[in-house]
Amino acid sequence: MGSMLNITFMLLFVSIGYITSQEETNVIKHTDLSRESTLVWGPGLCTDFVVPARYFYIQAVDINQQNFSESLGDIFEVKLSQQGGGPARVWVQTLDRKDGTYLVRFKPFSTYKDVHISIFHEGRHVAQSPYLLRGQVYHENCYCPEASLEKWYENMKCPDSYSQIESDLSVFNSVDMSKVVKEAVQRFNQAGTHSICHYAVVTNKVYRTCYGQHVGFKMFMDNILLSLTRKVLLPDFELIVNLGDWPLEKRAATNSPLPLFSWCGSTETSDIVMPTYDLTEASLECMGRVTLDMLSVQANTGPQWQNKTSKAFWRGRDSRQERLDLVTMSRQHPDKIDAALTNFFFFRDQEDVYGPKVKPVSFFDFFKHKYQVNLDGTVAAYRLPYLLAGDSLVLKQNSQYYEYFYSDLQPMVHYIPFQRDLRDLMEKLDWAIAHDDYAQEIAQNAQAYTRSNLMPADVFCYHVKLFQEWSKRVASKAKVAKGMDLVPQSSDSCDCDRQVNKQNKDEL
Ligand SMILES: *[C@@H]1O[C@H](CO)[C@@H](O)[C@H](O)[C@H]1NC(C)=O
Ligand SMILES: *[C@@H]1O[C@H](CO)[C@@H](O)[C@H](O)[C@H]1NC(C)=O
Protein backbone atom coordinates (compact mmCIF):
# COMPACT_ATOMS: atom_id res chain seq x y z
CA MET A 1 0.00 0.00 0.00
CA GLY A 2 1.39 3.37 -0.98
CA SER A 3 1.65 6.17 1.47
CA MET A 4 -1.40 8.31 1.89
CA LEU A 5 -0.84 11.60 0.22
CA ASN A 6 -3.07 14.38 1.11
CA ILE A 7 -1.71 17.28 -0.78
CA THR A 8 -4.24 19.87 -1.60
CA PHE A 9 -7.84 20.06 -0.64
CA MET A 10 -10.12 22.87 0.11
CA LEU A 11 -12.68 22.88 2.85
CA LEU A 12 -15.56 25.21 3.02
CA PHE A 13 -18.23 25.03 5.64
CA VAL A 14 -21.49 26.76 5.11
CA SER A 15 -24.08 27.93 7.59
CA ILE A 16 -22.30 27.25 10.77
CA GLY A 17 -23.67 27.84 14.23
CA TYR A 18 -22.71 26.03 17.38
CA ILE A 19 -25.39 25.81 19.99
CA THR A 20 -23.51 27.16 22.96
CA SER A 21 -26.12 28.11 25.52
CA GLN A 22 -25.08 26.66 28.88
CA GLU A 23 -28.18 27.69 30.86
CA GLU A 24 -30.74 25.46 29.19
CA THR A 25 -30.99 21.92 30.46
CA ASN A 26 -31.92 20.23 27.21
CA VAL A 27 -29.13 21.76 25.24
CA ILE A 28 -27.79 19.65 22.40
CA LYS A 29 -24.19 18.76 22.97
CA HIS A 30 -22.09 17.38 20.21
CA THR A 31 -20.18 15.49 22.89
CA ASP A 32 -23.29 13.26 22.98
CA LEU A 33 -22.58 12.27 19.41
CA SER A 34 -21.90 8.61 18.83
CA ARG A 35 -19.24 8.36 16.17
CA GLU A 36 -19.96 4.65 15.72
CA SER A 37 -23.76 5.01 15.40
CA THR A 38 -23.70 8.06 13.17
CA LEU A 39 -24.92 7.16 9.70
CA VAL A 40 -23.11 7.91 6.47
CA TRP A 41 -24.65 6.94 3.13
CA GLY A 42 -25.29 8.14 -0.36
CA PRO A 43 -24.33 7.76 -3.99
CA GLY A 44 -21.14 9.83 -3.67
CA LEU A 45 -19.56 6.89 -1.83
CA CYS A 46 -19.61 4.88 -5.07
CA THR A 47 -16.85 5.32 -7.64
CA ASP A 48 -19.15 4.99 -10.65
CA PHE A 49 -21.59 7.69 -9.57
CA VAL A 50 -20.19 10.32 -11.91
CA VAL A 51 -21.77 13.78 -11.56
CA PRO A 52 -20.08 17.21 -11.61
CA ALA A 53 -20.19 17.43 -7.80
CA ARG A 54 -20.61 14.09 -6.04
CA TYR A 55 -22.60 13.96 -2.80
CA PHE A 56 -23.42 11.86 0.24
CA TYR A 57 -25.14 12.34 3.58
CA ILE A 58 -24.38 12.20 7.29
CA GLN A 59 -27.07 11.68 9.96
CA ALA A 60 -25.79 12.56 13.42
CA VAL A 61 -26.84 9.95 16.01
CA ASP A 62 -26.45 10.29 19.78
CA ILE A 63 -25.12 7.85 22.34
CA ASN A 64 -28.67 6.57 22.97
CA GLN A 65 -29.03 5.67 19.30
CA GLN A 66 -31.41 8.57 18.70
CA ASN A 67 -31.10 10.62 15.56
CA PHE A 68 -30.28 14.25 16.19
CA SER A 69 -32.96 16.43 14.59
CA GLU A 70 -31.28 19.78 15.03
CA SER A 71 -28.02 21.25 13.92
CA LEU A 72 -24.91 20.40 15.89
CA GLY A 73 -22.99 23.10 14.10
CA ASP A 74 -19.84 22.59 12.17
CA ILE A 75 -18.60 19.39 13.83
CA PHE A 76 -17.60 17.12 10.97
CA GLU A 77 -14.42 17.43 9.04
CA VAL A 78 -14.26 15.71 5.66
CA LYS A 79 -10.95 15.10 3.91
CA LEU A 80 -10.20 13.53 0.59
CA SER A 81 -6.91 12.01 -0.34
CA GLN A 82 -5.64 9.77 -3.06
CA GLN A 83 -3.68 6.71 -2.38
CA GLY A 84 -0.08 6.64 -3.48
CA GLY A 85 -0.70 9.23 -6.12
CA GLY A 86 0.21 12.75 -6.97
CA PRO A 87 -1.55 15.83 -5.72
CA ALA A 88 -5.33 15.60 -5.40
CA ARG A 89 -7.31 18.72 -5.99
CA VAL A 90 -10.80 18.28 -4.66
CA TRP A 91 -13.21 20.93 -3.49
CA VAL A 92 -15.17 19.68 -0.46
CA GLN A 93 -18.17 21.35 1.09
CA THR A 94 -20.20 20.23 4.09
CA LEU A 95 -23.72 21.62 4.07
CA ASP A 96 -25.58 21.71 7.37
CA ARG A 97 -29.25 20.97 6.72
CA LYS A 98 -30.06 22.00 10.33
CA ASP A 99 -32.11 18.86 10.95
CA GLY A 100 -29.32 16.66 12.27
CA THR A 101 -28.28 15.71 8.74
CA TYR A 102 -25.44 17.01 6.64
CA LEU A 103 -24.95 16.95 2.92
CA VAL A 104 -21.35 16.59 1.85
CA ARG A 105 -20.40 17.35 -1.72
CA PHE A 106 -17.07 17.25 -3.44
CA LYS A 107 -15.78 18.10 -6.84
CA PRO A 108 -12.55 16.55 -8.11
CA PHE A 109 -10.71 18.82 -10.54
CA SER A 110 -8.91 15.88 -12.14
CA THR A 111 -9.40 12.15 -12.38
CA TYR A 112 -7.82 10.29 -9.46
CA LYS A 113 -7.35 6.65 -8.66
CA ASP A 114 -8.44 5.13 -5.34
CA VAL A 115 -9.76 8.13 -3.46
CA HIS A 116 -10.18 7.94 0.30
CA ILE A 117 -12.92 9.92 2.01
CA SER A 118 -12.30 10.46 5.71
CA ILE A 119 -14.96 11.88 7.97
CA PHE A 120 -13.75 13.08 11.34
CA HIS A 121 -15.36 14.30 14.51
CA GLU A 122 -12.84 15.78 16.94
CA GLY A 123 -10.04 14.15 14.99
CA ARG A 124 -11.51 10.64 15.09
CA HIS A 125 -13.22 8.66 12.33
CA VAL A 126 -17.02 8.60 12.12
CA ALA A 127 -19.10 5.54 11.09
CA GLN A 128 -17.09 3.36 8.65
CA SER A 129 -14.72 6.18 7.71
CA PRO A 130 -12.41 6.13 5.80
CA TYR A 131 -14.41 5.20 2.72
CA LEU A 132 -12.57 4.06 -0.36
CA LEU A 133 -13.64 4.92 -3.89
CA ARG A 134 -11.75 2.16 -5.64
CA GLY A 135 -10.57 2.66 -9.20
CA GLN A 136 -10.70 5.72 -11.39
CA VAL A 137 -12.73 8.56 -9.89
CA TYR A 138 -13.55 10.57 -13.01
CA HIS A 139 -13.95 14.30 -12.88
CA GLU A 140 -16.62 16.17 -14.81
CA ASN A 141 -14.45 17.07 -17.77
CA CYS A 142 -13.10 13.59 -18.41
CA TYR A 143 -14.40 12.01 -21.60
CA CYS A 144 -14.94 8.46 -20.47
CA PRO A 145 -18.41 7.20 -21.33
CA GLU A 146 -19.82 4.02 -19.87
CA ALA A 147 -20.59 1.77 -22.85
CA SER A 148 -23.74 0.23 -21.44
CA LEU A 149 -26.79 2.39 -20.78
CA GLU A 150 -28.15 -0.25 -18.42
CA LYS A 151 -24.96 -0.22 -16.40
CA TRP A 152 -25.05 3.60 -16.29
CA TYR A 153 -28.66 3.60 -15.03
CA GLU A 154 -27.63 1.19 -12.33
CA ASN A 155 -24.61 3.30 -11.32
CA MET A 156 -26.78 6.40 -11.16
CA LYS A 157 -29.67 4.59 -9.45
CA CYS A 158 -32.13 5.89 -12.02
CA PRO A 159 -35.81 4.97 -11.84
CA ASP A 160 -37.00 2.43 -14.45
CA SER A 161 -39.48 4.79 -16.04
CA TYR A 162 -41.10 8.20 -15.82
CA SER A 163 -44.81 8.62 -16.44
CA GLN A 164 -44.26 12.09 -17.92
CA ILE A 165 -41.92 10.65 -20.57
CA GLU A 166 -44.37 7.88 -21.38
CA SER A 167 -47.25 10.28 -21.77
CA ASP A 168 -45.24 12.86 -23.74
CA LEU A 169 -43.97 10.25 -26.19
CA SER A 170 -47.11 8.16 -26.48
CA VAL A 171 -48.23 10.14 -29.54
CA PHE A 172 -45.02 9.51 -31.46
CA ASN A 173 -44.26 6.29 -33.30
CA SER A 174 -42.08 5.42 -36.29
CA VAL A 175 -41.07 9.06 -36.62
CA ASP A 176 -39.30 10.11 -39.79
CA MET A 177 -36.89 12.83 -38.71
CA SER A 178 -36.23 14.28 -42.15
CA LYS A 179 -39.94 15.10 -42.44
CA VAL A 180 -40.04 16.49 -38.90
CA VAL A 181 -37.06 18.75 -39.45
CA LYS A 182 -38.41 20.08 -42.72
CA GLU A 183 -41.79 20.85 -41.26
CA ALA A 184 -40.41 22.31 -38.02
CA VAL A 185 -38.21 24.72 -39.94
CA GLN A 186 -41.12 25.72 -42.18
CA ARG A 187 -43.54 26.27 -39.33
CA PHE A 188 -41.33 27.69 -36.61
CA ASN A 189 -38.53 29.52 -38.34
CA GLN A 190 -40.63 32.53 -39.32
CA ALA A 191 -39.25 36.02 -39.15
CA GLY A 192 -37.18 35.35 -36.07
CA THR A 193 -40.20 34.83 -33.81
CA HIS A 194 -39.03 31.40 -32.71
CA SER A 195 -35.63 29.92 -32.10
CA ILE A 196 -35.17 26.23 -32.64
CA CYS A 197 -32.18 23.94 -33.02
CA HIS A 198 -31.90 20.65 -34.81
CA TYR A 199 -29.51 18.40 -32.86
CA ALA A 200 -28.00 15.12 -33.92
CA VAL A 201 -26.10 12.86 -31.56
CA VAL A 202 -24.25 10.34 -33.69
CA THR A 203 -21.54 7.98 -32.38
CA ASN A 204 -21.67 9.99 -29.15
CA LYS A 205 -20.76 13.26 -30.86
CA VAL A 206 -23.03 16.29 -30.79
CA TYR A 207 -23.98 18.26 -33.92
CA ARG A 208 -26.48 21.04 -34.47
CA THR A 209 -28.01 23.64 -36.72
CA CYS A 210 -30.01 26.47 -35.19
CA TYR A 211 -32.68 28.68 -36.73
CA GLY A 212 -33.92 32.04 -35.47
CA GLN A 213 -32.45 35.29 -34.22
CA HIS A 214 -31.96 34.54 -30.54
CA VAL A 215 -30.17 31.24 -30.25
CA GLY A 216 -27.93 31.99 -27.26
CA PHE A 217 -29.81 29.46 -25.16
CA LYS A 218 -28.42 26.65 -27.31
CA MET A 219 -25.53 26.83 -24.86
CA PHE A 220 -27.69 25.07 -22.24
CA MET A 221 -28.60 22.22 -24.57
CA ASP A 222 -24.97 21.93 -25.71
CA ASN A 223 -23.80 21.73 -22.11
CA ILE A 224 -26.08 18.91 -21.04
CA LEU A 225 -25.51 16.87 -24.20
CA LEU A 226 -21.73 17.22 -23.93
CA SER A 227 -21.79 16.36 -20.24
CA LEU A 228 -23.92 13.27 -20.86
CA THR A 229 -21.77 12.02 -23.73
CA ARG A 230 -18.70 12.27 -21.47
CA LYS A 231 -20.43 9.93 -19.04
CA VAL A 232 -22.38 7.45 -21.11
CA LEU A 233 -22.54 6.23 -24.69
CA LEU A 234 -25.86 7.66 -25.85
CA PRO A 235 -27.89 5.98 -28.58
CA ASP A 236 -27.86 7.87 -31.89
CA PHE A 237 -30.79 10.29 -32.17
CA GLU A 238 -31.92 13.59 -33.62
CA LEU A 239 -34.23 16.11 -32.03
CA ILE A 240 -35.71 19.56 -32.46
CA VAL A 241 -35.21 21.75 -29.41
CA ASN A 242 -37.30 24.86 -28.80
CA LEU A 243 -35.07 27.50 -27.21
CA GLY A 244 -37.94 29.82 -26.33
CA ASP A 245 -39.97 30.15 -23.14
CA TRP A 246 -43.31 29.07 -24.57
CA PRO A 247 -44.18 25.55 -25.63
CA LEU A 248 -44.98 25.73 -29.35
CA GLU A 249 -46.88 22.78 -30.74
CA LYS A 250 -50.57 23.68 -30.53
CA ARG A 251 -51.70 20.69 -32.58
CA ALA A 252 -53.46 18.12 -30.45
CA ALA A 253 -52.37 14.52 -30.14
CA THR A 254 -54.99 13.55 -32.71
CA ASN A 255 -53.71 16.04 -35.28
CA SER A 256 -50.16 14.78 -36.00
CA PRO A 257 -48.23 17.17 -33.76
CA LEU A 258 -44.54 17.68 -34.36
CA PRO A 259 -42.22 16.31 -31.68
CA LEU A 260 -40.66 19.45 -30.20
CA PHE A 261 -38.52 19.33 -27.08
CA SER A 262 -39.22 22.26 -24.74
CA TRP A 263 -38.30 23.28 -21.21
CA CYS A 264 -41.86 24.09 -20.32
CA GLY A 265 -45.02 22.17 -21.17
CA SER A 266 -48.63 23.24 -21.14
CA THR A 267 -51.99 21.55 -21.18
CA GLU A 268 -52.67 23.31 -24.48
CA THR A 269 -49.62 22.09 -26.35
CA SER A 270 -48.04 18.75 -27.25
CA ASP A 271 -44.39 19.64 -26.62
CA ILE A 272 -42.16 17.03 -25.01
CA VAL A 273 -40.76 18.43 -21.75
CA MET A 274 -37.16 18.34 -20.59
CA PRO A 275 -35.86 19.52 -17.20
CA THR A 276 -35.58 23.31 -17.46
CA TYR A 277 -32.31 24.87 -18.54
CA ASP A 278 -32.22 26.50 -15.13
CA LEU A 279 -32.36 23.29 -13.09
CA THR A 280 -30.09 21.50 -15.57
CA GLU A 281 -27.47 24.23 -15.52
CA ALA A 282 -27.59 24.29 -11.70
CA SER A 283 -26.95 20.52 -11.73
CA LEU A 284 -24.02 20.92 -14.11
CA GLU A 285 -22.56 23.93 -12.36
CA CYS A 286 -22.92 22.66 -8.81
CA MET A 287 -19.94 24.11 -6.88
CA GLY A 288 -19.18 26.09 -10.00
CA ARG A 289 -20.72 29.17 -11.52
CA VAL A 290 -24.10 28.94 -9.82
CA THR A 291 -24.77 29.58 -6.16
CA LEU A 292 -28.41 28.50 -6.13
CA ASP A 293 -28.73 24.79 -6.79
CA MET A 294 -30.70 21.93 -5.29
CA LEU A 295 -27.91 21.18 -2.80
CA SER A 296 -26.98 24.67 -1.65
CA VAL A 297 -30.63 25.51 -1.02
CA GLN A 298 -30.90 22.65 1.48
CA ALA A 299 -28.43 24.36 3.78
CA ASN A 300 -30.06 27.76 3.46
CA THR A 301 -33.66 27.22 4.45
CA GLY A 302 -33.80 30.05 6.97
CA PRO A 303 -34.86 29.93 10.61
CA GLN A 304 -36.64 26.93 12.12
CA TRP A 305 -40.34 26.81 11.24
CA GLN A 306 -41.48 28.34 14.57
CA ASN A 307 -39.17 31.28 14.05
CA LYS A 308 -40.23 32.22 10.54
CA THR A 309 -42.58 35.16 10.08
CA SER A 310 -46.18 34.11 9.42
CA LYS A 311 -46.22 35.91 6.11
CA ALA A 312 -46.49 34.97 2.47
CA PHE A 313 -43.47 36.20 0.56
CA TRP A 314 -42.91 36.99 -3.10
CA ARG A 315 -40.39 38.90 -5.22
CA GLY A 316 -39.96 38.95 -8.96
CA ARG A 317 -40.41 40.94 -12.13
CA ASP A 318 -43.62 42.13 -13.75
CA SER A 319 -44.02 39.37 -16.32
CA ARG A 320 -47.72 38.75 -15.70
CA GLN A 321 -50.82 40.65 -14.54
CA GLU A 322 -51.32 38.43 -11.46
CA ARG A 323 -47.91 39.49 -10.23
CA LEU A 324 -49.17 43.09 -10.14
CA ASP A 325 -52.38 41.91 -8.49
CA LEU A 326 -50.38 40.20 -5.76
CA VAL A 327 -48.63 43.51 -5.04
CA THR A 328 -52.06 45.11 -4.62
CA MET A 329 -53.11 42.35 -2.21
CA SER A 330 -49.91 42.82 -0.29
CA ARG A 331 -50.77 46.50 0.19
CA GLN A 332 -54.23 45.56 1.44
CA HIS A 333 -52.85 42.91 3.82
CA PRO A 334 -49.33 43.99 4.76
CA ASP A 335 -49.54 41.86 7.92
CA LYS A 336 -49.96 38.69 5.85
CA ILE A 337 -48.36 39.24 2.46
CA ASP A 338 -45.01 40.76 1.58
CA ALA A 339 -44.92 41.00 -2.21
CA ALA A 340 -43.08 43.49 -4.38
CA LEU A 341 -41.72 43.84 -7.89
CA THR A 342 -37.98 43.97 -8.44
CA ASN A 343 -38.11 45.02 -12.08
CA PHE A 344 -40.46 46.59 -14.60
CA PHE A 345 -40.35 45.51 -18.21
CA PHE A 346 -43.76 44.32 -19.42
CA PHE A 347 -45.84 46.92 -17.53
CA ARG A 348 -43.45 49.86 -17.50
CA ASP A 349 -46.34 52.30 -17.92
CA GLN A 350 -47.79 51.15 -14.58
CA GLU A 351 -44.67 51.56 -12.52
CA ASP A 352 -46.16 54.52 -10.67
CA VAL A 353 -49.07 52.31 -9.55
CA TYR A 354 -47.22 49.09 -8.68
CA GLY A 355 -43.78 50.53 -8.02
CA PRO A 356 -41.40 51.72 -6.97
CA LYS A 357 -39.39 48.60 -7.68
CA VAL A 358 -37.56 47.17 -4.70
CA LYS A 359 -34.05 45.76 -4.41
CA PRO A 360 -33.91 42.02 -5.10
CA VAL A 361 -33.71 39.84 -2.00
CA SER A 362 -31.26 36.94 -1.78
CA PHE A 363 -33.20 33.78 -2.60
CA PHE A 364 -32.14 32.14 0.65
CA ASP A 365 -33.74 35.01 2.57
CA PHE A 366 -37.14 34.06 1.14
CA PHE A 367 -37.12 31.30 3.74
CA LYS A 368 -37.35 33.74 6.63
CA HIS A 369 -41.06 33.50 5.85
CA LYS A 370 -43.37 30.55 6.36
CA TYR A 371 -45.28 30.87 3.11
CA GLN A 372 -43.97 31.19 -0.43
CA VAL A 373 -46.19 32.25 -3.30
CA ASN A 374 -45.38 30.66 -6.65
CA LEU A 375 -46.80 32.67 -9.56
CA ASP A 376 -46.20 31.99 -13.24
CA GLY A 377 -43.86 34.33 -15.06
CA THR A 378 -44.04 34.27 -18.84
CA VAL A 379 -44.48 30.50 -18.37
CA ALA A 380 -44.01 28.27 -15.31
CA ALA A 381 -41.77 29.92 -12.71
CA TYR A 382 -38.54 27.92 -12.82
CA ARG A 383 -37.87 28.70 -9.16
CA LEU A 384 -40.39 26.11 -7.98
CA PRO A 385 -37.86 23.28 -7.39
CA TYR A 386 -35.89 25.55 -5.06
CA LEU A 387 -38.99 26.86 -3.28
CA LEU A 388 -40.15 23.31 -2.61
CA ALA A 389 -36.72 22.38 -1.24
CA GLY A 390 -36.77 25.16 1.33
CA ASP A 391 -38.39 24.76 4.70
CA SER A 392 -41.48 26.84 3.80
CA LEU A 393 -44.98 26.10 2.57
CA VAL A 394 -45.55 26.75 -1.13
CA LEU A 395 -48.83 28.23 -2.31
CA LYS A 396 -48.96 27.56 -6.03
CA GLN A 397 -51.05 29.30 -8.64
CA ASN A 398 -53.11 26.94 -10.81
CA SER A 399 -51.61 26.98 -14.25
CA GLN A 400 -51.69 25.33 -17.63
CA TYR A 401 -47.88 25.48 -17.62
CA TYR A 402 -45.75 22.75 -16.10
CA GLU A 403 -42.19 21.51 -15.77
CA TYR A 404 -41.18 17.89 -16.25
CA PHE A 405 -41.79 16.86 -12.61
CA TYR A 406 -45.08 18.65 -11.79
CA SER A 407 -47.19 15.56 -12.45
CA ASP A 408 -45.54 13.96 -9.39
CA LEU A 409 -46.79 16.73 -7.12
CA GLN A 410 -50.07 16.47 -5.28
CA PRO A 411 -52.09 19.47 -4.10
CA MET A 412 -52.44 19.63 -0.28
CA VAL A 413 -49.61 17.09 0.00
CA HIS A 414 -46.71 19.03 -1.52
CA TYR A 415 -48.23 22.50 -1.89
CA ILE A 416 -51.47 24.46 -1.51
CA PRO A 417 -53.10 25.37 -4.83
CA PHE A 418 -54.96 28.61 -5.49
CA GLN A 419 -56.97 29.98 -8.40
CA ARG A 420 -55.21 31.53 -11.33
CA ASP A 421 -56.82 34.94 -10.72
CA LEU A 422 -55.83 34.83 -7.00
CA ARG A 423 -59.44 35.07 -5.87
CA ASP A 424 -59.04 32.43 -3.15
CA LEU A 425 -55.43 33.15 -2.22
CA MET A 426 -56.30 35.01 1.02
CA GLU A 427 -58.62 32.22 2.05
CA LYS A 428 -55.93 29.58 1.41
CA LEU A 429 -53.36 31.62 3.28
CA ASP A 430 -55.69 32.09 6.25
CA TRP A 431 -56.28 28.36 6.27
CA ALA A 432 -52.53 27.70 6.40
CA ILE A 433 -52.09 30.23 9.20
CA ALA A 434 -54.88 28.55 11.19
CA HIS A 435 -53.56 25.01 10.55
CA ASP A 436 -49.91 25.38 11.38
CA ASP A 437 -49.13 21.68 11.90
CA TYR A 438 -50.69 20.75 8.59
CA ALA A 439 -48.87 23.60 6.86
CA GLN A 440 -45.56 22.44 8.26
CA GLU A 441 -46.24 18.87 7.22
CA ILE A 442 -46.90 19.94 3.62
CA ALA A 443 -43.64 21.92 3.65
CA GLN A 444 -41.80 18.83 4.89
CA ASN A 445 -43.38 16.58 2.26
CA ALA A 446 -42.27 18.98 -0.45
CA GLN A 447 -38.77 19.09 0.96
CA ALA A 448 -38.59 15.29 1.13
CA TYR A 449 -39.84 15.03 -2.45
CA THR A 450 -37.14 17.34 -3.79
CA ARG A 451 -34.41 15.60 -1.81
CA SER A 452 -35.18 12.28 -3.45
CA ASN A 453 -36.33 13.40 -6.90
CA LEU A 454 -34.76 16.66 -8.01
CA MET A 455 -31.09 16.14 -7.20
CA PRO A 456 -28.49 16.51 -9.98
CA ALA A 457 -28.40 12.75 -10.62
CA ASP A 458 -32.17 12.77 -11.15
CA VAL A 459 -31.82 15.50 -13.75
CA PHE A 460 -29.21 13.43 -15.61
CA CYS A 461 -31.32 10.28 -15.37
CA TYR A 462 -34.36 12.03 -16.80
CA HIS A 463 -32.49 13.34 -19.82
CA VAL A 464 -30.92 10.01 -20.68
CA LYS A 465 -34.19 8.08 -20.24
CA LEU A 466 -35.97 10.64 -22.38
CA PHE A 467 -33.41 10.46 -25.18
CA GLN A 468 -33.30 6.67 -25.08
CA GLU A 469 -37.10 6.32 -25.19
CA TRP A 470 -37.25 8.95 -27.90
CA SER A 471 -34.65 7.17 -30.03
CA LYS A 472 -36.81 4.03 -29.94
CA ARG A 473 -39.69 5.94 -31.49
CA VAL A 474 -37.77 7.22 -34.45
CA ALA A 475 -37.75 4.98 -37.50
CA SER A 476 -35.24 6.95 -39.57
CA LYS A 477 -31.54 6.40 -38.95
CA ALA A 478 -30.00 9.34 -37.11
CA LYS A 479 -27.57 11.20 -39.32
CA VAL A 480 -25.51 14.35 -39.39
CA ALA A 481 -27.23 16.69 -41.80
CA LYS A 482 -25.30 18.82 -44.26
CA GLY A 483 -24.17 22.09 -42.75
CA MET A 484 -24.47 20.98 -39.12
CA ASP A 485 -21.81 22.23 -36.72
CA LEU A 486 -19.92 19.83 -34.51
CA VAL A 487 -20.29 21.00 -30.90
CA PRO A 488 -16.76 20.45 -29.64
CA GLN A 489 -16.24 18.31 -26.59
CA SER A 490 -14.34 20.30 -23.98
CA SER A 491 -12.73 17.40 -22.21
CA ASP A 492 -9.48 17.50 -20.26
CA SER A 493 -6.92 14.80 -20.66
CA CYS A 494 -7.59 12.02 -18.18
CA ASP A 495 -6.84 8.40 -17.68
CA CYS A 496 -9.97 6.58 -18.84
CA ASP A 497 -9.86 2.87 -18.22
CA ARG A 498 -13.26 2.16 -19.73
CA GLN A 499 -13.25 0.74 -23.22
CA VAL A 500 -14.58 3.88 -24.83
CA ASN A 501 -13.70 2.86 -28.34
CA LYS A 502 -15.12 -0.61 -28.15
CA GLN A 503 -18.60 0.58 -29.04
CA ASN A 504 -20.59 -2.54 -28.56
CA LYS A 505 -23.92 -1.57 -30.08
CA ASP A 506 -25.57 -4.76 -28.83
CA GLU A 507 -25.34 -3.45 -25.31
CA LEU A 508 -27.16 -0.24 -26.08
C1 LIG B 1 -32.53 8.06 11.61
O2 LIG B 1 -32.11 8.70 10.41
C3 LIG B 1 -31.98 7.83 9.30
C4 LIG B 1 -31.41 8.65 8.17
O5 LIG B 1 -31.94 9.93 8.10
C6 LIG B 1 -33.33 7.22 8.96
O7 LIG B 1 -33.21 6.35 7.87
C8 LIG B 1 -33.84 6.47 10.18
O9 LIG B 1 -35.13 5.97 9.91
C10 LIG B 1 -33.88 7.38 11.38
N11 LIG B 1 -34.21 6.60 12.56
C12 LIG B 1 -35.22 6.91 13.36
C13 LIG B 1 -35.43 6.01 14.53
O14 LIG B 1 -35.93 7.86 13.15
C1 LIG C 1 -36.08 31.00 17.82
O2 LIG C 1 -35.38 32.21 18.07
C3 LIG C 1 -35.02 32.40 19.43
C4 LIG C 1 -34.44 33.80 19.57
O5 LIG C 1 -33.48 34.06 18.61
C6 LIG C 1 -34.05 31.30 19.82
O7 LIG C 1 -33.66 31.45 21.17
C8 LIG C 1 -34.73 29.95 19.64
O9 LIG C 1 -33.81 28.93 19.91
C10 LIG C 1 -35.23 29.82 18.21
N11 LIG C 1 -36.04 28.62 18.12
C12 LIG C 1 -35.81 27.69 17.22
C13 LIG C 1 -36.75 26.53 17.23
O14 LIG C 1 -34.90 27.77 16.40
Identify whether residues 326 and 386 lie together within a single domain.
yes
**pLDDT given at position 288:** 86
Q: Give mean pLDDT, residues 200-215.
A: 95
Predicted pLDDT at 506: 41
Last residue of a domain, one of 139, 154, 177: 139
pLDDT confidence band for 28 (50 / 70 / 90): low
pLDDT greater than 70 at residue 14: no
Q: Residue with the nearest Cα to atom 1 of ligand 1?
A: 67
Shared-domain flag, residues 474 and 500: yes
Kindly report, residue by residue over 454-475, the tens digit of the pLDDT. Answer: 999 999 999 999 999 999 999 9
Among residues 234, 231, 206, 302, which one has the least CA distance to residue 54? 231
306 in any annotated domain: yes
pLDDT score of 4 more than 90: no
Rounded distance between C-alpha atoms, residue 447 and residue 442, angstroms: 9
Over residues 315-371, the pLDDT tens digits come to 999 999 999 999 999 999 999 999 999 999 999 999 999 989 999 999 999 999 999
Helix H, strand E, coil C: the string for 467-498 is HHHHHHCECCCCCCCCCCEECCCCCECCCCCC
Residue 307 CA to ligand 2 center (angstroms) comes to: 6
Radius of gyration of the chain (CA): 24
Higher pLDDT, residue 339 or 25 = 339
Q: Mean pLDDT, the chain, as a whole number?
A: 91
- Give domain status of residue 426, yes or no: yes
Ligand 2 centroid vs 373 CA: distance in angstroms?
A: 25
Which residue minimizes the CA distance to atom 5 of ligand 1?
Answer: 59
In a shared domain, residues 58 and 126:
yes
Within a domain: residue 437?
yes
pLDDT digit string, tens, across residues 225-274:
999 999 999 999 999 999 999 999 999 989 999 999 999 999 999 999 99
CA of 228 to the centre of ligand 2 (A): 44
Q: What are phi and psi of 80, to 5 degrees?
A: -115, 140
Ligand found nearest the CA of 305: 2
Q: What's the half-sphere exposure (Cβ side, CA atoms, 13 Å) at 483?
A: 5
Residue 153 lies in a domain: no
Q: Which atom of ligand 2 is nearest to the CA of 303?
A: 14
Is residue 365 a part of any domain in this protein? yes
Q: Is residue 150 part of a domain?
A: no
CA 96 – ligand 2 centroid, Å = 17
Same domain assignment for residues 256 and 181? yes
Nearest ligand for residue 20 CA: 2
Pair 399, 464 in one domain: no
Shortest-distance Cα residue to atom 8 of ligand 1: 67
Ligand 1 atom closest to Cα of residue 61: 1
- Judge if 9 and 95 occupy the same domain: yes
3-state SS of 366-400? HHHEEEEEECCCCCCCCCHHHHHHCCCEEEEECCC
Which residues are CB-contacts of 14 (< 8 A; sequence separation ≥ 6)? 93, 94, 95, 96, 296, 299, 300
Residue 290, in any domain of the structure: no
Residue 30 confidence (pLDDT):
64
Q: Cβ distance 89 to 81 under 8 Å?
A: no
For residue 491, the model assigns a pLDDT of 78
Give residue 99's identity as a one-letter amino acid code: D
Q: How confident is the model at residue 500 (pLDDT cuts 50, 70, 90)?
A: low
Task: Tell me whether residue 21 is exposed, middle or buried, using C-beta atoms within 10 angstroms of its C-beta: 0 to 12, 13 to 18, 19 or more.
Answer: exposed
* 318 and 449, same domain (yes or no): yes
Is it the case that residue 502 has pLDDT exceeding 50?
no
Residues 13, 72: Cα–Cα separation, whole Å = 13
The answer to whether residue 118 sits within a structural domain is: yes
Hey, which bits of 318-444 come out as E strands?
337-343, 369-374, 393-397, 401-402, 416-418
Residue 205 in this model has a pLDDT that exceeds 50: yes
Residues 87 and 214 both lie in one domain? no
Q: Which ligand 2 atom sits nearest the alpha carbon of residue 304?
A: 14
Please tell me whether residues 437 and 313 are part of one structural domain. Answer: yes
* Predicted pLDDT at 12: 29
User: Average pLDDT, stretch 389-396?
Assistant: 97
CATH of the domain at 133: 2.60.40.10
Q: What's the pLDDT tens digit per position in 104-139?
A: 999 999 999 999 999 999 999 999 999 999 999 999
Same domain, 372 and 479: no
Q: Is the pTM of this model over 0.95?
A: no
Task: Return phi, psi of residue 126, to 5°.
Answer: -110, 145
Residues with CB under 6 A from ligand 2: 304, 306-307
Atom of ligand 1 nearest to the CA of 67: 1
Query: Does residue 25 register a pLDDT over 60?
Result: no
Give Cα separations from 22 to 18, 28, 121, 270, 303 (angstroms). 12, 10, 21, 61, 21
List the domain range (segments joined by +) for residue 73. Answer: 4-139
pLDDT value at position 498?
A: 83
CATH code of the domain in which 305 resides: 3.40.50.2000
Mutation to probe ligand 1, out of 37, 59, 68 (largest number of atoms < 8 A from CB): 59
Separation of CA 459 and ligand 1 centre (Å): 26
CA of 428 to the centre of ligand 1 (A): 33
Whether residues 188 and 235 fall in one domain: yes
Q: From 72, 106, 139, give the residue that closes a domain.
A: 139
Q: State whether 343 and 412 are in the same domain.
A: yes
Task: Please give the tally of structural domains in the chain.
Answer: 3
